[in-house]
Structure 1
């Protein structure tokens, strides 16, 4: 998915016709409040730091492995969908005319080619999908380990973690950052509101789908354990419940004296 999105990003976008008097694309080109690279780094580094730290504390290679897979695959799926739509839709950014620098005699844009092409890739917002794909994963992960979204599940820990409100707030904090990133894109006149909304939904959906592949539903009472290979036999003793269990093939005879 990452490789495919990289290919799509390098392809020229659809060149949509425009009206030079359209007020929706006649805003001044402004600097970003938060750059794309910084958004990418924060949306990856913060969730990884949190999940890997807890995985090391629990001495669980499976948790670290599944956290990396869930986050990276979610980010990849979000990136693929975003780049595909950007190129196929070719919607003009709110500051497109400023980037274009239209020449009446040439009847063409004379602005910097890279900026002009990027000005044709407004829908959906890449910043929003990136921020929400990373922060939604972290929000789901926090909700699962604290039971924030399953109020009937008790939570171990001190007085603060036993507070339902504190757990709920902690699980929603990552989404505050993602929301700020999305809003900043409209304030900077880099995206229309529809671009930001759809980009955010793409990030949320991608993160949720890939999270549930590797981790249990945060609304359930099931323990927060990384999912193992499915199909463990019910008569096979495992460390985890059958749904999340795994089985190591025996090296002994058919009676199973070498089976764990």
Structure 2
């Protein structure tokens, strides 16, 4: 967890030399109105932490299976760390402006001297990939894979429940396009990164014989 916090803190402190944005691009691609987040960061963080912690604790709470619980938590936290590293590095390297970057730089709506807050402008150049999307699909995608492994021999309608965490991740990602914080490509890339991280760690966990009952 300390490593994860360190990665995020480093991401917030770093800014790559921004690439030039032409006036045409600024108007056509980055002039969507600023809106509050439909799902604030603290809500997203609560979801991607509390849901997995509760579900992954069930083997211990119900069956007193401390080994499986510990192995599952290790695989989940590893997936989160891998996802965080990839996401935060790409954000800094690519430095893509957010859809509402125009109003971050020119709050009054008139092109001139960039008069926005420094923090808003720096954050406004970290659109790709979407952190909300990558972390949601990584954490909740891991839970879907974990549940699928446990219910693999059960009825199909139970398996539909396994897809619910991913559906929640889809909603979180979709909300980032609706509130003009990300382009759809950012959300799609975040989903791919998150699911890939979750899949690799979950399959490594599965290969140890800990997943399928």
With the length of structure 2 as denominator, give the TM-score of the two structures. Answer: 0.89
More helix by share: 2
> Is 2:34 aligned against 1:19?
no
Contact 2:80 2:197 in 1 (8 A): yes
Residues 140-179 of structure 1 deviation map (CA, whole Å, 9 limit, x = unaligned)? 01101100xxxxxx43xxxxxxx31x12211111111000
Residues 84-135 of structure 1 deviation map (CA, whole Å, 9 limit, x = unaligned)? 00000010100000000179xx954110110011000000000000110111
Q: Larger C-alpha radius of gyration, 1 or 2? A: 1
RMSD: 2.4
Shift of 1:215: 2.6
Judged with a 3 Å threshold, the aligned counterparts in structure 2 of structure 1 residues 71 and 14 are, in CA distance, closer, same or farther, namely farther
Shift of 1:5: 4.6
Residue number in structure 2 paired with 1:150: none
Contact 2:137 2:166 in 1 (8 A): yes
> Is 2:47 aligned against 1:32?
no
Q: Which runs of 5+ in 2 are unaligned?
A: none
Residue number in structure 1 paired with 2:11: 8
Aligned residues: 208
SS at match of 1:123: coil
Q: How do 1:130-141 and structure 2 match up within 5 A?
A: 130-141=135-146
Residue number in structure 2 paired with 1:186: 177
Q: How do 1:152-191 and structure 2 match up within 5 A?
A: 154-155=153-154, 163-164=155-156, 166-191=157-182
The separation in 2 between residues aligned to 1:17 and 1:112, in whole angstroms, is 19
Residue number in structure 2 paired with 1:224: 211
Residue number in structure 1 paired with 2:198: 207
Judged with a 3 Å threshold, the aligned counterparts in structure 2 of structure 1 residues 120 and 66 are, in CA distance, closer, same or farther, namely same
Q: Which runs of 5+ in 1 are unaligned?
A: 148-153, 156-162, 227-260
Q: How do 1:29-178 and structure 2 match up within 5 A?
A: 29-101=34-106, 108-147=113-152, 154-155=153-154, 163-164=155-156, 166-178=157-169
Q: Which has the higher contact order (CA 8 A, sep 6+)?
A: 2
With the length of structure 1 as denominator, give the TM-score of the two structures. Answer: 0.74
SS at match of 1:27: coil
- Worse overlay, 126-135 or 70-79: 70-79
Judged with a 3 Å threshold, the aligned counterparts in structure 2 of structure 1 residues 225 and 62 are, in CA distance, closer, same or farther, namely farther
